[in-house]
């Protein structure tokens, strides 16, 4: 199914395609864009479709309205969950949402425009880059509910902010503003609210000027080597780099550099 066809079937997401960039808006502003089962399923379908679409080079995820990116999960759905169904719920968010975003062959930027809490922060951390509005607020309030992060937030948060800081933020459930999030490494950039989407588009355009396969392999290498020792990490890197040396994109990029022209990449 084409992305344009899929968008007609969605009730909780809005999709816009702008010069090869898919802008995906979480569209439940009356509920602070909280993640319910239907929204999670729609996100999964969009990720799958974007991964297959030759017309889309990268994805920007943001929230509709001014108050929230994603203010966590829809807590009203938690009443029916027990040990078994709760585990299934966690696995779905881990594998079909956050891991799917992290492992997508195309770059993903989170444009965080307000509350980014719990599962919302876990989704944002699965993105390759996070750009925050000055009004953005980040946190993990799960312990206040007698729960804990469940979409691999315990892992991704410590990768970004460090072991001790991750424990602090999760165990205290303290919220941090955009400036602090920038200072501790949770976000890459902070901009004024009116400039948020344009800043995300500008950064994505800078990425998409590069070889699509180089983007894919670089993202793959960074993800895979994150927890490896240096020898294993080097093996992954040289293996992927070796493949790139055989591609049309390498030939085009080198020729363009030598002849002082802009490359025209096509190898996917």
User: Please, which residues bridge with residue 40 across strands?
Assistant: none
Per-residue pLDDT of the chain (268 residues; tens, 9 = 90+): 788 889 889 999 999 999 999 999 999 999 999 999 999 999 999 999 999 999 999 999 999 998 999 999 999 999 999 999 999 999 999 999 999 999 999 999 999 999 999 999 999 999 999 999 999 999 999 999 999 999 999 999 999 999 999 999 999 999 999 999 999 999 999 999 999 999 999 999 999 999 999 999 999 999 999 999 999 999 999 999 999 999 999 999 999 999 999 999 985 4
Residue ranges covered by each domain of the chain: 3-208, 212-258
Over the stretch 51-91, which tens digit does the pLDDT of each residue have?
999 999 999 999 999 899 999 999 999 999 999 999 999 99
Q: What's residue 7's pLDDT?
A: 87
Q: Which residues are catalytic?
A: 122, 142
Q: What is the pTM of this model?
A: 0.96
Computed from CA positions of residues 15, 21, 26, 27, in that sequence, does the dihedral angle turn out positive or negative? negative
Fold entry, domain 212-258: Lyase 2-enoyl-coa Hydratase; Chain  A, domain 2 (1.10.12)
CA 155 to chain centre: 15
Q: Which residues contact 244 (CB under 8 A, 6 or more apart)?
A: 211, 213, 214, 217, 250
Q: What's residue 100's pLDDT?
A: 98
Q: Do domains 3-208 and 212-258 have the same CATH topology?
A: no
> How many whole angstroms separate alpha carbon 172 and alpha carbon 255?
54
Is the domain covering 3-208 a CATH 3.90.226.10 domain? yes
> How many whole angstroms separate alpha carbon 102 and alpha carbon 159?
13
pLDDT above 90 covers what percent of the chain? 96
């Amino acid at each position: 199914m084409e992305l344009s066809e899929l968008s007609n079937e969605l009730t909780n997401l809005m999709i816009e395609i702008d010069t090869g960039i898919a802008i995906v808006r979480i569209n439940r502003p009356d509920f602070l864009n909280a993640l319910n089962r239907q929204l999670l399923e729609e996100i999964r379908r969009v990720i799958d479709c974007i991964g297959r679409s030759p017309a889309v080079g990268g994805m920007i995820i943001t929230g509709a309205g001014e108050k929230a990116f994603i203010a966590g999960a829809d807590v009203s759905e938690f009443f029916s969950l027990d040990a078994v169904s709760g585990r299934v719920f966690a696995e779905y968010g881990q594998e079909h949402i956050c891991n799917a975003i992290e492992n997508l062959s195309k770059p993903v930027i989170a444009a965080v425009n307000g509350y980014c809490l719990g599962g919302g922060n876990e989704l944002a951390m699965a993105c390759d880059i996070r750009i925050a509005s000055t009004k953005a607020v980040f946190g993990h309030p799960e312990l206040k509910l007698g729960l804990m992060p469940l979409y691999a937030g315990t892992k991704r948060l410590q990768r970004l902010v460090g072991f001790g800081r991750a424990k602090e933020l999760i165990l205290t459930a303290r919220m941090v503003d955009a400036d602090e999030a920038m200072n501790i490494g949770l976000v890459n950039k902070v901009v004024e609210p009116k400039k948020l989407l344009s800043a995300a588009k500008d950064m994505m355009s800078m990425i998409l000027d590069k070889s699509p396969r180089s983007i894919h392999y670089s993202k793959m290498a960074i993800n895979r080597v994150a927890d490896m020792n240096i020898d294993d990490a080097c093996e992954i890197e040289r293996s992927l780099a070796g493949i790139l040396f055989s591609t049309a994109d390498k030939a085009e990029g080198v020729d363009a550099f030598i002849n002082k022209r802009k490359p025209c990449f096509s190898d996917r």
